[in-house]
Amino acid sequence: MTTVIEDMAGMNLEGVLALNNAHQKETSFLTRADLQRMIGNAYYARGVEPARAFLLGFDQEGDYSSPNFLWFKKRYSRFAYIDRIITAEAARGQGLARALYEDLFARAKGDGYSVVGCEVNMDPPNPGSDAFHAKLGFKEVGTALLANGKTVRYLTKTL
């Protein structure tokens, strides 16, 4: 089966919002206005319909105040940052997250980026995400304790 990746601007935003908020423990809760603002400011905002998976990412020009994004912005002059990737539980194991990552990598490389960054929760732990990122070649470059009590690992992949 071929995975069709679409621009999020054309997707069913209610479905994307529901998918995001079902996983707010791992990411964060969003309102419709939050989601629309993020899509409008994103370097990469693509997904797989009907709201089976999506990836939102920013680059160093992004107007975004997430402490994780700002961590990368302080340390890298040019980068693509993965803010959130979510796959619906019923769609897991179909390669959708990998397809979205590979699509982002191809775009970033084509745009002259050499670094893609993200963070993965250490506390609460996210072993599935740890294993996924390791398979894709991400390496740890830092850690942080966030104001919300989460501890995260910062990861980068060199393109």
Higher pLDDT, 24 or 30: 30
End-to-end CA distance of the chain: 27
Return the pLDDT at 125: 87
Q: Is the pLDDT of residue 1 over 80?
A: no
Percent of the chain scoring above 90 in pLDDT:
84
Looking at every residue in the chain, the average pLDDT score rounds to 94
**What's the rounded Cα separation, in Å, for the pair 158 and 79?**
10
Mean pLDDT, residues 112-135: 93
Specify the pLDDT at position 24.
Answer: 87
Residue 73 pLDDT > 70:
yes
With 90 as the cut, is the pLDDT of residue 25 above it? no
Fold entry, domain 6-158? Aminopeptidase (3.40.630)
- Confidence class for position 27, pLDDT limits 50, 70, 90: confident
Higher pLDDT, 157 or 4: 157
What torsion, rounded to 10 degrees, do the Cα atoms 66, 72, 74, 79 define?
A: -120
The residue ranges of every structural domain in the chain are: 6-158
